[in-house]
C-alpha cells in the first residue's frame, strides 16, 4: 500500500543551495512481491539531497535499496534517475554506487585495487583508474593504506574505502545500506561525522537505509519511514521528530502519541489507541476540529500520589506498570485509561515510591500537547 498520506510532505527540501528543484533527481516507485511480503513504496530524492529510509527490521528498507540498485527485480513500478528511465537497465550499467552493510570489500585486492575496480570495469585504463583511486583514497585520508588488504583495515577505514569505491564510478545516485551498523559505538560517532561531510560534498542524490533514528536525523535532509512494506511518513527530520504519525516513529523519537477526534480544545482518544479505554480525553491549548494526532513528551508528564490541586487541564488516574532507567531520568510506564510513559527524576520517584500496580495521578499541561491533523 503506497501511502499518499495527507500530512506526508514531499518534494525538494530547502537545501543548502536554496534552489527549488524542478524535478527530483530520483523518482522511483518500487513494488516487489515476495510471497507474503509486499513492498510498494515511492522513493524520491532531490539533487544533492540525502534521504534516509528509516524503519524497523523487516519493513523492506534493504529490499527497496536493492531494487533501486537493480539487484532485486521489480514486480511493478519504475525508477527514474535524472529524468532517465533506468528500470530495465542491468545493475552493471546503472549510474549508481552502493555502500553495502558489511562493505563487501574484495579481500584479495588492496584498498587501492578495490577502489580502482569500478573505473576499470567502466572502461578506464589501468593507470588512469589507479590514479583516480589514489586521489579518492587521499581525499578520505587513507593514502597510507592504499596497499593494505581490507582485513587489515579498522572498521572506520574499511567504511571509508567502501565509500571511496562506490564514489569511484562517479555515480549519480549513492545508495548506503546501514553504513555504520558494522562499527562499534565509539567509532560510529566519528565515522558518522565524516560520512555526513562526504555525503554533503557528494552532490548527487543519496539514499541511506538505517534503523537508527539518530543516524537518520544527523545524516539526512529528509526521512522516509517504511513500515510493513509501505511508506508511512515522510518529511524533514525535525518535522518527523516533532509530528510522528505512527507508533513506531513515536517510540523512536520518544513521544506519547494518540489518534483521536478533536472537539474544540478537547481530543477524544480512539478506543484501543495504545491500549486506551474508550472515553479518554486530552486537552490541548488551541481549538480545532476533525481527526488529529495528539503527542506529548514523557518529560512533560508529572506524577502525584494525591490528586493534584490547582487543576491542571489533563489529569488521569493511572497504574504503574514498570520503571526503568532512562539517561539521568527514570521512565515510568503507566497503564489505565490513557497508557503513557513519564520521565521523572530519581528524586521524584523516591518521593512517589510506587509499588508495582500502585495507582498514581498523571498530569500534563495543555500547552505541552502537540495536536496536528491525522
Partner 1 sequence: MAAGAPGRRTAAAVRRGRTPWALLVPALIGLAFLVLPFAGLLIRTPWGDLLPLLSSAEVRGALWLSLGTATAATAVSLLFGVPLAWLIARTEFPGRRAVRALVTVPLVIPPVVGGVALLLVLGRSGLLGRHLYEWTGFSLPFTTAAVVVAQVFVAMPFLVISVEGALRGADRRYEEAAATLGASRWTAFRRVTLPMAAPGVVAGAVLAWARALGEFGATITFAGNFPGTTQTMPLAVYLAMQESPEQAVVLSLVLLLVSLAVLVALRDRWVGTP
One character per residue 48-87, x = contact with partner 1 (rule: CB under 8 A) = ---------------------x-x----------------
C-alpha cell at 35: 510471497
The distance of closest approach from Cβ of residue 289 to partner 1 in the complex, given in angstroms and rounded to an integer, is 51
For partner 1, the closer of residues 167 and 225 by Cβ is: 167
3-state SS class at 368:
helix
> Residue 108 Cβ, how far from partner 1 at the closest point, in Å?
4
Asked if 96 touches partner 1 (CB under 8 A), the answer is yes
Q: Does 125 bind partner 1 (CB under 8 A)?
A: no
- Consecutive H or E run containing 189: helix 185-202
The end-to-end CA distance of the chain, in Å, is: 18
Q: Which residue, 123 or 310, is less far from partner 1 as judged by CB? A: 123
The one segment of 118-126, 178-186, 194-202, 222-230 that binds partner 1 by CB under 8 A:
118-126
Q: Is the dihedral of CA 236, 237, 243, 244 positive or negative?
A: positive
Cβ distance to partner 1 smaller for residue 6 or 90: 90
Counting contacts by CB under 8 A, is residue 349 touching partner 1? no
Question: Is residue 306 near partner 1 by the rule CB under 8 A?
Answer: no
Report the 10 Å Cβ neighbour count for 325. 9
Cβ proximity to partner 1, 70 vs 260, nearer residue: 70
Q: Which DSSP string corresponds to 62-129?
A: HHHHHHHHTSS--SEEEEEETTEE-TTS-GGGSSEEEE-TT----TTS-HHHHHHHHHHHTT--HHHH
Verify binding: residue 161, partner 1, rule CB under 8 A: no
Among 19, 76, 88, 121, binds partner 1 (CB under 8 A): 121
The single residue among 106, 128, 135, 346 that binds partner 1, judged by CB under 8 A, is 106
Nearest-CA neighbor of 155 among 99, 102, 100? 102
CB atoms within 10 A of CB 178: 19
Distance of CA 313 to the CA centre of its chain: 34
Give residues in contact with partner 1 (CB under 8 A).
69, 71, 90-94, 96-98, 100, 102, 104, 106-108, 117-118, 121-122, 165-166, 168-169
Amino acid at each position: 500500500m503506497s501511502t499518499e498520506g495527507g500530512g506526508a510532505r514531499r518534494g525538494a527540501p530547502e537545501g543548502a543551495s536554496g534552489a527549488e528543484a524542478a524535478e527530483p533527481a530520483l523518482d522511483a516507485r518500487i513494488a516487489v512481491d515476495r510471497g507474503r511480503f509486499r513492498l510498494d513504496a515511492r522513493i524520491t530524492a532531490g539533487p544533492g539531497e540525502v534521504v534516509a529510509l528509516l524503519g524497523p527490521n523487516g519493513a523492506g528498507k534493504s529490499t527497496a535499496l536493492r531494487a533501486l540498485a537493480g539487484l532485486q527485480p521489480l514486480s511493478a513500478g519504475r525508477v527514474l534517475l535524472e529524468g532517465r528511465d533506468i528500470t530495465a537497465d542491468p545493475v552493471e550499467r546503472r549510474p549508481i554506487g552502493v555502500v553495502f552493510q558489511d562493505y563487501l570489500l574484495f579481500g584479495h585486492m588492496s584498498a587501492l585495487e578495490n577502489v580502482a575496480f569500478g573505473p576499470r570495469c567502466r572502461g578506464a585504463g589501468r593507470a588512469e583508474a589507479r590514479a583516480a583511486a589514489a586521489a579518492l583514497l587521499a581525499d578520505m585520508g587513507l593514502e597510507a593504506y592504499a596497499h593494505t588488504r581490507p582485513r587489515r583495515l579498522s572498521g572506520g577505514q574499511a567504511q571509508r574505502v567502501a565509500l571511496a569505491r562506490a564514489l569511484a564510478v562517479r555515480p549519480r545516485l549513492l545508495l548506503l545500506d546501514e553504513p555504520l551498523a558494522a562499527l562499534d559505538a565509539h567509532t560510529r560517532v566519528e565515522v558518522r561525522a565524516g560520512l555526513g561531510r562526504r555525503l554533503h560534498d557528494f552532490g548527487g542524490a543519496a539514499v541511506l537505509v538505517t534503523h537508527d533514528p539518530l543516524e537518520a536525523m544527523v545524516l539526512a535532509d529528509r526521512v522516509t519511514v517504511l513500515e510493513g512494506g509501505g511508506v508511512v511518513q515522510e518529511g524533514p527530520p525535525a518535522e518527523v521528530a516533532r509530528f510522528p504519525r505512527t507508533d513506531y516513529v513515536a517510540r523512536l523519537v520518544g513521544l506519547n502519541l494518540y489518534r483521536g477526534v478533536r472537539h474544540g480544545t478537547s481530543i477524544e482518544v480512539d478506543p484501543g489507541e495504545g491500549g486506551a479505554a474508550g472515553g479518554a480525553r486530552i486537552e490541548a491549548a488551541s481549538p480545532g476540529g476533525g481527526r488529529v494526532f495528539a503527542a506529548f513528551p514523557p518529560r512533560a508528564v508529572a506524577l502525584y500520589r494525591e490528586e493534584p490541586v490547582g487543576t491542571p487541564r489533563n489529569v488521569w488516574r493511572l497504574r504503574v506498570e514498570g520503571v526503568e532507567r532512562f539517561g539521568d531520568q527514570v521512565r515510568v510506564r503507566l497503564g489505565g485509561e490513557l497508557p503513557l510513559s513519564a520521565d521523572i527524576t530519581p528524586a521524584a520517584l523516591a518521593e512517589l515510591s510506587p509499588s508495582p500496580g500502585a495507582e498514581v495521578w498523571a498530569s500534563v499541561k495543555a500547552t505541552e500537547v502537540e495536536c496536528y491533523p491525522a
